[in-house]
Structure 1
Amino acid sequence: MVLVTSVRDYINRMLQDISGMKVLILDSETVSNVSIVYSQSELLQKEVFLVEMIDSISVSKESMSHLKAVYFIRPTSENVQKLRYQLANPRFGEHHLFFSNLLKDTQIHILADSDEHEAVQQVQEFYADFVAGDPYHLTLNMASNHLYMLPAVVDPSGLQRYSDRVVDGIAAVFLALKRRPVIRYQRTSDTAKRIAHETAKLMYQHESGLFDFRRTESSPLLLVIDKRDDPVTPLLNQWTYQAMVHELIGLEDNKVDVRAIGSLSKDQQVEVVLSSEQDAFFKANMYENFGDIGMNIKRMVDDFQQVAKSNKNIQTVGKYMRTWPDLLTATLSTKKMQGDVSKHVTLVTEMSKLVEARKLMLVSQTEQDLACNGGQGAAYEAVTDLLNNESVSDIDRLRLVMLYALRYEKENPVQLMQLFNKLASRSPKYKPGLVQFLLKQAGVEKCTGDLFGNRDLMNLARNMARGIKGVENVYTQHQPLLFQTMESITRGRLRDVDYPFVGDHFQQGRPQEVVIFMVGGTTYEESRSVALQNATNSGIRFIFGGTALLNSKSINTVYYMAAFATMILAIPVLLREGNGIMSWFEAHPSPWSAVIIIFSSGVLAFCLNFSIFHVILSTTAVTFKVAGNLKVVVAVLVSLLIFRNPISYMNAVGCGITLVGCTFYGYVRHMLSPGTPRTPRTPRNKMELLPLVNNDKLVGKVYSVFTIHCYVTSSPILDSENTICFSPIC
């Protein structure tokens, strides 16, 4: 309850101290923060008669001086500029400004200079810069969730914005909790390290006074980890209620868009709410498995029939006894119960149809065997059979091959190649390059934890015992790697070498509060593990957060991104350069020559980007940068020899230093490489010899894999706001 309560308290304080009719103005991010914890009826009780987006308010010029404007927005430069315009021409009687995070001094000065009409009554910071979907689970809903997987040289400014947004979200969580944590991070993740150090700098240096709260017996712990350490969890089909709805139908900000369900009648509502705060049945069953949900819904329907029958008797008596208050109460209660019954029956019925149509029970059993059990030969046969099954969808085939590759990456490259070929023939739009990219991002050499329980002796013993005793449910036997991490923290066995501390702030004793933030996104299966761990009363309260919520559908966003980008850019190009393009066409005697030139330039641009990603993929980002510097020197020397272009003394010295540096870099790489000199990415087996063309456009689809439920799956991998999460299969 801690996260939801914190956000609700902020909104209550924001609204109850301002009397009279109000308009609540939000931005594209705070609208999710508010809507997930506050209903429309509750806003009406606070005299909020209008809810608007800051973008639409900026366009409208209608005066509403009878309303008091309550702004709750993120302190971004874009929002400040929109506020500046609105304050210069105020439409409302009063303006109350609330920001969801830290406001910079320069932004305060900008707002003060713009408030010439003295319309602003107050400016405050209410730290609710996150979406509190569940009591102990939060997300930042970052659209650019894929950026952390790109090399820094590809988009350094985008990666910096990504890190800044994550740091802002983490800071808001601890300001809401009124705590300053000890910070640790996953050693194998550069992104986790960067975010951890920037967060520490904010809390202990730049804003140390703001985070100087009353000290407790033990400092809370912030652990920053990387989703790529556990690529398996997002790839699995889910069988608990909340996770299944998110995977099969879609769950965003605790709302389900039911328009995709074709069997609905036209008079049914477009969205239904699945919130543990507003729906008692969902709260009791959100972590239950699919079989138990069916039985519980049957009991719910039986109870509703009994209540409906009882209300009929009340209505009959009411004709003679005039018990209208009782009749009204019973009618309202029945209506609410009827809505809940209809909602859950509709969702479960639709999911049952999808499970049957996609043969998900058969697919999921193989997925669970790949994730939890050994036996490479049997696994290969099971995956091959499902790849040949016409009822299995393309996305399920891809996930099966990915799981097999993650589990048996080093055991039998020949069989893995055969599965790649089978996948390419059965599902042509998913090339083996997607799987290869996943292995490079999250393969066995990249993982910190014991992902498959075959490294640690204790995990091996546990798996053997489970094999002897059997499992209660073969579809939910997998436990995410996060469970092992929480177990290690509870027992005080989280190794410093794998999860180092930031700075000189160390943990004294066992923490009582732990915030685990996962870069790359979270899943509802992991959220369930956190809730169950908190229910054990271990003395530690865990809070789990991430950059996005992942499921297996996010890969499609990046898959079709190129086509959308073309349509989006076509209109601006025609508006800004249309006359020049037409003049250029007219200058050519034949339009075909102009078309060929334009098409050729596009092909050359694609080849350039393709080669850049190929170099980075085949070597390292540092090698790519060194090669770029060497290219400049070669261009200067060629221009000197062929065109006799003069160069200054400083140019010559610079070229010399560059050549020495490149030579020294090559020498160091040679000395560090064992045996025959070769780059770290040189193909070492048949699988890595697959043509690059099979990587399925690394610039787009490949990068999307991970944000596929990391991988198969709701934040991607080109620089687009619609990227995958896996948010990419992520």
Structure 2
Amino acid sequence: MNLITAIKLYVEKMCNESGPGMKTILLDKETTSIISMAFSQSDMLQREVYLFERLDSGRSNERMKNLKCIVFIRPTKQNIQLLADELRSPKYGSYFIYFSNIIPRTDIKYLAECDESESVREVKEVYADYLCVNPNLFSLNINCSMHRLNWLPDALSRTVQGLLAVLLSLKLNPVIRYRAGSIVSQTLAKQIYEQICKESSLFDFSRTHENGAAPPLLLILDRRDDPVTPLLHQWTYQAMVHELLNIHNNRVDLSNTAGIPKDFRELVLSGDQDEFYANNMYANFGEIGSTIKNLMEEFQRKAKDHKKVESIADMKNFIETYPQFKKMSGTVQKHLCIMGELSALTTKRNLFEVSELEQEVACKAEHSAQLQRIRKVIADERISIDDAIKLVALYALRYERHANCDTSSLLQIIKTRGGRTAIIPSLIEFAGTHMRQGDIFNLVRISDAVKLTRNLIKVVRKILYTHIYTCI
């Protein structure tokens, strides 16, 4: 059940079925991201794909009949119309068309009617309609999915399509479970179930689930049952990079960061292409500091060895190992840049103190002491306004029904600093006590959680104060 492998198999299939020879690939905005997150440009060149074009970029009059064209697009109305226009006046010699999800028969018939020159060789569905972040994690890049407590229609439709594609690419026909009483979960579950029934022939994986094995389970969770976790700062590598620097389509943009070398202003973070990242994405920040120090020392040793080229054998060895050496050099520089920026932001935003207070509010019921400390912290100009709002949000959720709850005074401090105070009432409306099933604040062993967090922060502080991260 590896999502990256599933996407790669589909792309390999497209390239192989189009046969040998130079090819171009015609994509839309979303499939461009899907391809780029699984393959580098050099990977595609090895598969004889030399030209990348966007279906929605506007047509040119240049004809390239010597090229085969692989079309990989989502089956949207806009894409169908653009492809129909392409087929009426074909730019390439032949077309191999692959849709990233289920396409209605009426659309296939319409495209066939537009293909008057009979340049289409294949029309198939490949279920690669999601963006792979990790082998076990995908995204649909939906920025906003709900308005108040209801699904936005386009977001619901895209979520259903994406989940169906994941199930089909992994060959799973699941049992669907969701929390009773959650309308948003029920709506999603119902639509997925209806689509599975409608496309029952595609979901006939009976042979896959033989030998009495338990059927796969699609478990739909409602974020309202745990609004706390997204408000807490994370201390593992991938999570920290995403929260503090933002990972978008496996890329980190450092172009606005001072002192970053030109070649490192946009960094690719893919576990499939970066062994160090794959091995350390879930490691805590303190461990990463030690690991990258060891990586840098290994690189320095190899750099010294490369300077000792005194014989023909040394030259031969240098030529053979240079690509790996160059790759290692890039890996070291990339992660030093990232760690340096994470370290700077951690200090600048005083995240040690903020994170420790977050954990105490989430895990310990000490209202009076926490209220005073939150007031002091959120009034500190060194604390970012977003971190301050998250602290107030945690307090509001934790002490919503406490007799002495004083969210209003905290909101006044946020307002004085120019923060958006309307977020907190909206959060309570969305995920307050009346909306949650069970008490999220009593589901952890309080003493263990606080002790673990304090120990982790001590380790991270020690590592950061011992090592200085700079870009080479």
**TM-score normalised by length of structure 2:** 0.92
258 and 414 in structure 1: CA distance in 2 versus 1, 3 angstrom threshold: closer
1:150, distance to aligned residue in structure 2 (A):
3.4
Matched, 1:198 2:199: no
1:428 to 406, 411, 418: 418
Contact residue 264 and residue 334 of structure 2 kept, 8 A: no
Matched, 1:160 2:156: no
1:93, distance to aligned residue in structure 2 (A):
0.9
183 and 476 in structure 1: CA distance in 2 versus 1, 3 angstrom threshold: farther
Q: What is the SS of the residue equivalent to 2:248? A: coil
Matched residue, 1:97: 97
Matched residue, 1:546: none
Q: Which moved more, 1:227-236 or 1:125-134?
A: 227-236
Q: What is the SS of the residue equivalent to 2:152? A: helix
Matched, 1:175 2:175: no
1:226, distance to aligned residue in structure 2 (A):
2.0
2:148 to 147, 150, 153: 150
1:171, distance to aligned residue in structure 2 (A):
0.9
Matched residue, 2:337: 346
Matched residue, 1:330: 321
CA distance in 2: counterparts of 1:168 and 1:297, whole angstroms: 40
CA distance in 2: counterparts of 1:201 and 1:441, whole angstroms: 28
Q: How does 1:477-492 map to 2 (within 5 A)?
A: none
**2:310 maps to amino acid:** T
CA distance in 2: counterparts of 1:48 and 1:118, whole angstroms: 22
2:220 to 219, 224, 240: 224
1:164, distance to aligned residue in structure 2 (A):
1.6
CA distance in 2: counterparts of 1:73 and 1:191, whole angstroms: 29
Matched, 1:207 2:203: no
Contact residue 364 and residue 475 of structure 1 kept, 8 A: no
Matched, 1:293 2:300: no
**1:434 maps to amino acid:** I
**1:382 maps to amino acid:** R
Q: How does 1:629-668 map to 2 (within 5 A)?
A: none
CA distance in 1: counterparts of 2:439 and 2:60, whole angstroms: 56
1:281, distance to aligned residue in structure 2 (A):
1.0
Q: What is the SS of the residue equivalent to 2:381? A: coil
Matched residue, 2:452: 471
**1:308 maps to amino acid:** A
Q: What is the SS of the residue equivalent to 1:29? A: helix
Matched residue, 1:28: 29
CA distance in 2: counterparts of 1:373 and 1:201, whole angstroms: 44
475 and 370 in structure 1: CA distance in 2 versus 1, 3 angstrom threshold: farther
Contact residue 368 and residue 475 of structure 1 kept, 8 A: no
CA distance in 2: counterparts of 1:465 and 1:347, whole angstroms: 31
CA distance in 2: counterparts of 1:188 and 1:134, whole angstroms: 32
Matched residue, 2:303: 308
Report Cα offsets for 1:230-281 as digits up to 9, x if no partner: 2212222221111111111111111111212221134x24421111111111
CA distance in 2: counterparts of 1:64 and 1:446, whole angstroms: 59
1:344, distance to aligned residue in structure 2 (A):
0.4
CA distance in 2: counterparts of 1:472 and 1:236, whole angstroms: 11
Report Cα offsets for 1:514-565 as digits up to 9, x if no partner: xxxxxxxxxxxxxxxxxxxxxxxxxxxxxxxxxxxxxxxxxxxxxxxxxxxx
Q: How does 1:489-638 map to 2 (within 5 A)?
A: none
Contact residue 365 and residue 474 of structure 1 kept, 8 A: no
Gaps of 5+ in 1: 153-157, 478-730
Matched residue, 1:185: 178
Report Cα offsets for 1:278-311 as digits up to 9, x if no partner: 1111111111111111111111110001111111
Matched residue, 1:49: 50
Structure of larger gyration radius: 1
CA distance in 2: counterparts of 1:355 and 1:21, whole angstroms: 49
Q: How does 1:44-83 map to 2 (within 5 A)?
A: 44-56=45-57, 58-83=58-83
CA distance in 1: counterparts of 2:272 and 2:3, whole angstroms: 12
**2:148 maps to amino acid:** L
CA distance in 1: counterparts of 2:405 and 2:161, whole angstroms: 47
1:463, distance to aligned residue in structure 2 (A):
2.9
Q: Which one has more relative contact order, counting CA pairs under 8 Å at least 6 apart? A: 1
**1:292 maps to amino acid:** E
Q: How does 1:662-681 map to 2 (within 5 A)?
A: none
Q: How does 1:344-493 map to 2 (within 5 A)?
A: 344-412=335-403, 414-425=405-416, 427-431=417-421, 433-452=422-441, 454=442, 459=443, 462-464=445-447, 470-471=451-452, 473=454
**1:34 maps to amino acid:** I
Contact residue 173 and residue 204 of structure 2 kept, 8 A: yes
Contact residue 356 and residue 453 of structure 2 kept, 8 A: no
Contact residue 256 and residue 274 of structure 1 kept, 8 A: yes
Report Cα offsets for 1:16-74 as digits up to 9, x if no partner: 23221011111111112111111111101000101121112x33222121211101111
**1:116 maps to amino acid:** E
**2:161 maps to amino acid:** D
**1:254 maps to amino acid:** N
Matched residue, 2:468: none
CA distance in 2: counterparts of 1:285 and 1:66, whole angstroms: 46
Q: What is the SS of the residue equivalent to 2:227? A: coil
Report Cα offsets for 1:162-185 as digits up to 9, x if no partner: 222111111111111112111111
Contact residue 132 and residue 138 of structure 1 kept, 8 A: yes
Q: What is the SS of the residue equivalent to 1:49? A: strand
Q: What is the SS of the residue equivalent to 2:452? A: coil
CA distance in 2: counterparts of 1:34 and 1:50, whole angstroms: 13
Contact residue 244 and residue 345 of structure 2 kept, 8 A: yes
Report Cα offsets for 1:386-444 as digits up to 9, x if no partner: 0221211111111110111011111045522211222212x22412x210110000111
C-alpha RMSD of the superposition: 1.9
25 and 473 in structure 1: CA distance in 2 versus 1, 3 angstrom threshold: farther
Report Cα offsets for 1:606-631 as digits up to 9, x if no partner: xxxxxxxxxxxxxxxxxxxxxxxxxx
414 and 465 in structure 1: CA distance in 2 versus 1, 3 angstrom threshold: closer
Contact residue 363 and residue 449 of structure 2 kept, 8 A: no
1:474, distance to aligned residue in structure 2 (A):
5.0
Gaps of 5+ in 2: 459-472
